[in-house]
Structure 1
Amino acid sequence: MTIEDGWTDGAGGVDRTPGNRSRDALRAAQMYYLQDLTMNAIARELRTSRSTVSRLLSMARETGLVQIQVNNPSDRAPALEQQISRRFGVEAHVVPVADSVNDSEVLDRVAIQAARTIGPLVDSNAIVGVAWGSTLSAVSHHLTRKQTHDSTIVQLNGAGNTQTTGITYASEILRRFGQAYGARVEQFPVPAFFDHAATKTAMWEERSVRRILDLQRRMTMAIFGVGSIGAGIPSHVYSGGYLDREDLETLETDEVVGDVATMFFRADGTHRDIVLNTRSTGPELDQLCTVRRRICVVSGESKINGLRGALAAGLATDLILDEGSARRLVHS
């Protein structure tokens, strides 16, 4: 028996070919999670190293062979989740994070839990709208594979601006979602904001654009973050060259606190007569509210004003957020 890059190819050992790696990941997972064998015991049985067993178990989790679920023994959500659910009418998932953890690590932990929460909710024949942004980009890196049939991932808003087409950034996020769920990906190749509202009106009559708009109208699920100007990790729409100084001044005049998919709203959830919305390519917020499941993912207390506005507008049915943000949401 020889060992190469951690994978053995001897008889009875671990094989490096893709099909057999999946088989061995399943065997290792069954022994570890169902038979309570230690990694050392599994390594001896598979005639490989402990580090290879660790990689097999990681592969089992990443490819969906293993899904981990934590059940509350009291069958009741923790206090913060209960308070948020009662007050805002959403299903809340609070990610435990210590106050000492920096913004980047908070985002990563929220993204991991969001990815694991979203996976079981995506079914076959689904049309899932995905908004691009810093938070959803992080979530897309942690998605667990789940095979579905005849499902579609559709981009919620355009991504181009005067500096870039935005195609690479947005398409990578959508590609990861499509790959995770075996779904077809439909991009929306328009700018995030048109220069003139009349241009948007004309473009919305084009058949190629109307096809994407029709998919958005038939969405069964929408997944998005909340944009905020003052976030610890700046929202991509505010840091990526999408808005010039005049646009930012207009948002201030309109008392905007945040956005979802580049559609803006005020602290009380109202969004009518906000000038920039007439040029935005995001879905109308009233239309978004008709989607059966709307999953909002938020990381960082600096987004709290935007989150309150989004909840006041009724944009979310499910909310995944870090513990610090959850405390501020219910106590301030």
Structure 2
Amino acid sequence: MPTDSLGSDKVRDALRAAHLYYMQDLTMEAIAAELHTSRSSVSRLLGFARETGLVEIQVKSPADRVSSVQDRIRERFSVTAHVVPVPDNTAEVDRLERVAMSAARILGPFFDSNMTMGIAWGSTLSAVSRHLQEKVTHNSQIVQLNGASNARTTGIGYASEIMSRFGVAFGAYVQQFPVPAFFDDPHTKQVLWRERSIRRVLEIQKHMDLALFGLGSAYADVPSHVYVGGYLDDADFEQLTKSDVVGDVATVFYRADGSSEDIPMNARSTGPSLELLRKVSRRVCVVSGRSKLPALRGALAAGVMTDLIIDETTAVALLRE
């Protein structure tokens, strides 16, 4: 809920408590005395300040292992890494949730008023959307990067829920993309891409300030939605294997060397080309789990990301390989 719709007294008290606690290093007992309230009330005010975005907490340490890994990834791959500490023995579903939670908080400062954010639906972005913190923006919009329907479902419920969460969190207008994830015939795509209603969405995509996406992989421990959601049949999987595909971004497939040309499935895909994606000033990729390493290496080779949000175990494995 935007802070301007909350009780002004509570916002005022939360701001005062946060300033005393974080900026003046007062104890909760001292703050309680100054605000004439209880210690438990101060704790709730500080929690309220964090949850509503009045306070943003960043953890930085130039000496720890995470910072070292981030620096090495930047040096080797020329991307800004945000490494999320997660124990090695964490289950993959829990690992994804922890990375998604961190990604949702890291994303906040990247997006502001008068900006357009492109969203590629998928298992990872669905998890991120559940942890978004509210931030009021103005004249901003969220645009869907690829269609979501297939032969079994319209995909509207799945994709629109993700998009809606981003729209609500940032107070942004949501622009959906009501087309299939893949056309049966590339010529159908060529014809539809000339329609004014579709061209309007494509034009918005061309002027994105920020693109947010996960990486699809047929071999991920947490299944990528495009590979298990009925979007591909046996012939499609065979074709991807013949094309040496290692992953996809917004249903656009690529090889280990980062190339995406001459992959037949891409002629049918509704996602933005990797060439268009590379023109976006900030491109944030969220990855969790070592099973995504082949897809991640290919995406790095393709140069599709400027920022990488990744769990520590996978980041260390990436550097070792």
Q: TM-score, normalised by structure 1?
A: 0.88
Moved more, 88-97 or 207-216: 88-97
Q: Distance in 2 between matches of 1:270 and 1:207?
A: 30
Deviations 1:113-155 (A, max 9, x none): 2122211111221111011111111111222222222111100
How far residue 78 of structure 1 moved from its aligned partner, in angstroms, is 2.0
Partner of 1:9: none
Residue 309 of structure 1: which of 288, 298, 302 is its match?
298
* Structure 2 residue matching 1:78: 3-state secondary structure: helix
Task: Find 1:78's aligned residue among 67, 76, 84.
Answer: 67
CA distance in 1, matches of 2:86, 2:66: 17
Partner residue, 1:250: 239
Q: Are residues 53 and 163 of structure 1, via their aligned partners in 2, closer, same or farther at CA, if it must alter by over 3 Å?
A: farther
> Residue by residue, what CA displacement relative to the aligned partner does 1:221-248 show, whole Å, maximum 9, x if unpaired?
1010101111111111112111111111
2:110 maps to which residue? 121
Gaps of 5+ in 1: 1-16
Return the letter of the residue paired with 2:211.
A
- Over 3 Å counting, the alpha-carbon distance change for 1:318 and 1:207 in structure 2 is same
Distance, in Å, in 2 between the alignment partners of 1:46 and 1:167 is 51
Partners of 2:317 and 2:129 lie apart in 1 by 26
**Matched residues in 2 for 1:201 and 1:165: separation?**
20
The answer as to whether partners of 2:32 and 2:39 remain within 8 angstroms in 1 is yes
What's the secondary structure of 2:81's corresponding residue?
strand
Deviates most, 179-188 or 24-33: 24-33
8 Å CA contact retained: 2:28, 2:42: yes
Question: Matched residues, percent identical?
Answer: 59
Q: Deviations over 1:253-287 (max 9, x none)?
A: 11100000000000111111111111111001111
The aligned amino acid for 2:261 is: R
Q: How far apart are the structure 2 equivalents of 1:264 and 1:31?
A: 51
Aligned equivalents of 2:45, 2:265: Cα separation in 1? 49
**Does residue 194 of structure 1 match 2:183?**
yes
Give ranges in structure 2 of 5+ residues lacking alignment.
1-5
Query: TM-score when scaled to structure 2?
Result: 0.91
1:237 alignment counterpart: 226
Which position in structure 2 is the counterpart of 1:215?
204
Equivalent of 1:183 in 172, 175, 181: 172
Is 1:205 equivalent to 2:194 in the alignment?
yes
Q: Match for residue 60 of structure 1?
A: 49
Q: Aligned partners of 1:202 and 1:149: how far apart in 2?
A: 35
Query: What do residues 277-327 of structure 1 show as CA deviations (whole Å, max 9, x unaligned)?
Result: 111110011111111111111011100000000110110111110111111
Letter in 1 for 2:247: G
Match in the other structure for 1:13: none
Cα-to-partner distance string for 1:87-115 (whole Å, 9 max, x where unaligned): 11111111111111111221122112212
Q: How does 1:83-98 map to 2 (within 5 A)?
A: 83-98=72-87
